[in-house]
Structure 1
Amino acid sequence: MYALSRLALATGKREWNALAAQLARAALPRFFVTRPSGSETLVWKLAPDLGSVLVHSKGHLDDLDGLVMCRTVREVARRLGGGGEQDLEALAARYRRIVDNEPPKTPSGDPLDLGMGLWICHLDRDALWSRRLATQGLRLARARFLAACAAPLTEASRRRRLAFREFGACLGIKCYGAEEESLVAGVEEVLGVWEGKLTTVDNDEDDLRPINLVMYAAALIPGAFRDGYVPFPEPKINE
């Protein structure tokens, strides 16, 4: 949904965002289930045909992710046209009820979860849940993540650390804390640790090379991952 919505902004073609809205209407309602108490919650994974539940638990940030994505696609629909705003607002309301009825989210010690949380928060900075989660996430980033992951790589630590998860944290920190020089400097230090070490890897790491490189690029230049993304102007063609 997010990729299609950003593609719509980059190209100015509202049909891409319409596809994001179509995906939301077709798939997202299937992930809602009703508890015996009558309240709704989410399941994590469904079969490819969306006909059965594969994992009944809910991902840590699934409700916040769904809430923010629905609102993001809705806002692009309002900007570019194409319709679907009411359906997206109704879906966002369902996610919001889950958020309001459950204890406030706190960041886990996982770098990818930390980054995902901060990235979601920066797309809706004014919400109470966002301010709470971001405050704790930034505290965790300063106190633990940036200091620990700026340590030089050794053979042993390289086998223990997963590059793409660290880059996910870097991306989230960079998006939320773009105005804080100390945070940005800390992220650049972590990225520098991995510089030049992602193209030549052991055979055991070959399967992770694509995601490592993609996440590294995104953490270096967040681009369309940032709120308020404005596409580059069209290049001028010399006559």
Structure 2
Amino acid sequence: MHKEDNTMLVSDVMLDFAISTGLTDPDRAPRRYLWTDAFAVCNFVELYRRSQDESWLELARQLVDQVHRVLGRHRVDAEASGWLSGLDEQEGELHPTVAGLRIGKPLAERLPDEPSDERLEWDRDGQYYHYLTKWMHALSCMTRVTGDVTYLRWGMELARAAHRAFRYAATPDGAPALHWKMSIDLKRPLVRSAGLHDPLDGLVACSEMRSLAGDFAVDGLPDLGEEIGELASMCRGKSLATDDPLGIGGLLCDADWMELLVIKGDFQHLRLFRQVLDDALASLEGAGDTFLELPARYRLAFRELGLSIGLRGAANLARLAVEFQEDHDPDLLFELTPRIEALTRHLALAPRIERFWRGERDKGSEHWKEHRDINMVMLATSLAPGEFLQAG
């Protein structure tokens, strides 16, 4: 468990984020970025859960609305205007995610006849599949806490749109895969290579939403069964191991969410769950902890904080052995238990990462300020991960 109460620090960080990115300061133009904002929504909800102060939940609602009004619409420097979907203002407000959401990068996307520049592409706008899945999770969080199924509907409509646009036939026999980056209008790939964990992220996000939908007696929600089936097929037989701290953290978060869905009976891909545990463990053991000895100038806070968030999720995995019901396969449980125990041996990395970057934040170092927005929200998530690490 996370024994230290970091509520005051997290509150300060998130209020700073709300002001500096234009969420609560009307004199600042909104600076919205989809990945960062997905974590921020969960952080605001976590602060509401801890305090029962409605103002935190209101900030979460405001952020969701602002993300949709900014990233669900064309850029101000684009020839097109209005909602990405082309819907009129009223319908666009009702369905802000049916054509995806922009990343929020500073530069306009590459034009169709413009040659690719790998360096520039990192700063160009478009749509990332793995950012969209984080937003699906944030919308699920909003429904889980508020009981308002509108957020879940938006997440499921986003899942449908993303799967339809990013999916392509990767082999002559039609085996599906996902492009890594698409144009803002979702009509052409900007980066054709596939993200290593994108199908897994999509599978978990769609499974979470489908599980949550089962808790509400509401007609007309998308089923997502076809999307889940194809995403699961994309994950089979592929190593998910990585040496990237952010990627390892993502694997551990997916494992945490999968565990919660398995306990609930809403995730049937148990062998994939076992593989994710194996690959996460291999990744952790391969990466080691020598990066912690490097100076800040050779490190990126948000990537390491992604790992510490995942490690906070790994701490939750021990519940599996306790909460696994008798109707689950005891042989599988026997296989999973030593894997979970091995992962827990790495949990001490998380507070070490947090302490280092809290120090850089307190000093106001250039290495902290360079990616300040994303660093702030991911530090807050690592210190108070409760809502972010929930599922279903």
Indicate whether the TM-score tops 0.5. yes
Higher RCO (Cα < 8 Å, 6 or more apart): 2
Check whether the contact 1:174–1:219 (CA below 8 A) recurs between aligned residues. yes
2:188 is aligned with 1:52: yes
1:110 corresponds, among 230, 244, 262, to: 244
Instruction: State the aligned residue count.
Output: 222
Instruction: Give the whole-Å Cα distance in 2 for the aligned partners of 1:73 and 1:223.
Output: 18
Greater CA drift, 64-73 or 132-141 = 132-141
Q: Cα deviations across residues 110-157 of structure 1 (Å, max 9, x unaligned)?
A: 100000011112222462122222233235435644x32543x6xxx2
Hey, which of these two has a bigger chunk of helix by percent?
1
2:266 is aligned with 1:124: no
Check whether the contact 1:7–1:16 (CA below 8 A) recurs between aligned residues. yes
2:290 is aligned with 1:148: yes
Greater CA drift, 124-133 or 37-46 = 124-133
Amino acid aligned to 2:242: S
Check whether the contact 1:121–1:130 (CA below 8 A) recurs between aligned residues. yes
Check whether the contact 2:256–2:313 (CA below 8 A) recurs between aligned residues. yes
Check whether the contact 1:63–1:95 (CA below 8 A) recurs between aligned residues. yes
Unaligned 5+ segments in structure 1 are 230-239
Quote the residue 1:38 is aligned against.
Answer: 174
RMSD, aligned CA: 2.3
Quote the residue 1:9 is aligned against.
Answer: 144
Instruction: Give the whole-Å Cα distance in 2 for the aligned partners of 1:98 and 1:228.
Output: 22
Distance 1:21 1:27, change over 3 A: same
Amino acid aligned to 1:224: E
Quote the residue 2:361 is aligned against.
Answer: 198
Quote the residue 2:24 is aligned against.
Answer: none
Quote the residue 1:138 is aligned against.
Answer: 281
**TM-score after normalising by structure 2:** 0.52
Unaligned 5+ segments in structure 2 are 1-135, 263-269, 319-340
Check whether the contact 2:168–2:176 (CA below 8 A) recurs between aligned residues. yes
Question: Residue 218 of structure 2: SS of its match in structure 1?
Answer: coil
Check whether the contact 2:203–2:232 (CA below 8 A) recurs between aligned residues. yes
Check whether the contact 1:21–1:84 (CA below 8 A) recurs between aligned residues. no
Distance 1:83 1:28, change over 3 A: farther
2:310 is aligned with 1:172: yes
Check whether the contact 2:197–2:240 (CA below 8 A) recurs between aligned residues. no
Instruction: Give the whole-Å Cα distance in 2 for the aligned partners of 1:52 and 1:140.
Output: 33
Quote the residue 1:73 is aligned against.
Answer: 209
Distance 1:149 1:80, change over 3 A: farther
Amino acid aligned to 1:134: L
Check whether the contact 1:44–1:58 (CA below 8 A) recurs between aligned residues. yes
Check whether the contact 1:18–1:82 (CA below 8 A) recurs between aligned residues. no
Check whether the contact 2:296–2:367 (CA below 8 A) recurs between aligned residues. no
1:205 deviation in Å? 5.1
Q: Cα deviations across residues 164-210 of structure 1 (Å, max 9, x unaligned)?
A: 10000111111023347654433112211222312544456534011
Question: Residue 223 of structure 1: SS of its match in structure 2?
Answer: coil
Check whether the contact 1:5–1:76 (CA below 8 A) recurs between aligned residues. yes
Question: Residue 273 of structure 2: SS of its match in structure 1?
Answer: helix
Check whether the contact 1:77–1:83 (CA below 8 A) recurs between aligned residues. no
Check whether the contact 1:199–1:209 (CA below 8 A) recurs between aligned residues. no
Quote the residue 1:225 is aligned against.
Answer: 388
1:68 deviation in Å? 0.8
Check whether the contact 2:156–2:222 (CA below 8 A) recurs between aligned residues. no
1:159 deviation in Å? 0.5
Query: How much identity, in percent, do the aligned residues show?
Result: 30
Amino acid aligned to 1:141: L
Instruction: Give the whole-Å Cα distance in 2 for the aligned partners of 1:188 and 1:72.
Output: 28
1:65 deviation in Å? 0.8
2:185 is aligned with 1:185: no
**TM-score after normalising by structure 1:** 0.83
Question: Residue 359 of structure 2: SS of its match in structure 1?
Answer: coil
Distance 1:21 1:83, change over 3 A: farther
Instruction: Give the whole-Å Cα distance in 1 for the aligned partners of 2:384 and 2:345.
Output: 17
